[in-house]
Amino acid sequence: MKSKERATLSGIALAALLAPGLLVGGEVQALPEGVETVEVKPTSKDHPLDEIISGWQYRSPETQALQEDDFENPAFLWVEQGEELWSTVDGAANKSCASCHDDAADTMASVGANMPKWNKALDKPVNLEQQINLCRTEQMEAEPWKWESAQLLGMTAYVKNQSRGEPVSVQTDGPMKPWFDKGKELYYTRVGQLDMACSSCHEDYYGKQIRADMLSQGQTNGFPTYRFKWQKIGSLHRRFKGCMKNIRATPYKVGSDEFLALELYTAWRGQGLPVEAPAVRQ
């Protein structure tokens, strides 16, 4: 290697160390807004992966660029709607979310990183969408929002965005253990006419090309996510349904116990990754 080439590579390597980004194709790529890393090491000896990598790293430079800038990220249309709904009074109790939770930047700072979470009153875990609707029905005395409605997607995106940069950390012991075990079982169970499991793509072949897309590890730290295929933001459970349909299996319902257990297990698989929501994906 010529000395000039070595000097150029040394400069690139130094820039990669000093700048918050990744070295891709000889260029330092900026990371998503509010995120300092997209790759962490597992802390559990039982983790099936040697490295935990955000789906952002497997996207095209153009898609990455949309997520890098909040002004360009199309999902922020829903975040802005959620911000407006946060202080909108609704229901017989004449309350808004802000009535109880004040400034979301303070009170919701880690909420999105810790869901699903155990709900003692229901004797089961709930995810963020379910918790939002519980607040609406029990505290605001308002009607629950429908799954995938603009209101629920907007509020979920807004609340989750307050946790951006916070490491994913979910409880998997105690009362959550049976749910975690169920989610793990579902993750590795082959279903559908194609006889495939979640692990068939996201554990065995991540980083490989599938048609025009590249398989990721199926990490969930970016949900709710804007997908070009949907032309809108969507929930994690919608993505679960889509995956099951792709392998010609009968999908569970959004909000079902099966998808809730799967959400818990996949969140654990991404423990330590920073929340990116709302992410942008193909």
For residue range 81-120, list pLDDT tens digits in order.
999 999 999 999 999 999 999 999 999 999 999 999 999 9
Distance CA 197, CA 191 (A): 6
Q: 243 an active-site residue?
A: yes
- Which token pair is 102? 């004040």
Largest CA distance in the chain: 75
CA-based nearest residue to 28, from 8, 13, 6: 13
**Predicted model pTM:** 0.90
Closest to 40 measured CA to CA, from 169, 172, 212, 176: 169
Going by pLDDT thresholds of 50, 70 and 90, the confidence category of residue 25 is very low
Instruction: At 110, list the tokens.
Output: 């880690």
Q: What is the mean pLDDT of the chain?
A: 91
Inform me whether the pLDDT recorded for 29 exceeds 80.
no
Q: How far is CA 224 from the centre of its chain?
A: 6
Look at residue 6 in the predicted model and tell me its pLDDT.
33
Q: Which residue has the tokens 């199309």?
A: 74
Beta-sheet strands, E only, within the chain: 21-24, 27-30, 39-40, 52-53, 117-119, 124-126, 209-210, 213-214, 225-227, 232-234, 279-281
pLDDT number for residue 24: 47
Interatomic CA distance for residues 204 and 133, integer angstroms: 36
**pLDDT greater than 60 at residue 242:** yes
Q: Which of 97, 135, 201, 243 is catalytic?
A: 243
How would residue 30 be classed by pLDDT, with cut points 50, 70 and 90?
Answer: confident
Q: What is the pLDDT of residue 213?
A: 81
20 Cβ contact partners less than 8 Å away, ≥ 6 residues apart: 30, 31, 36
Residue 138 reports pLDDT greater than 60: yes
pLDDT(3) > 60: no
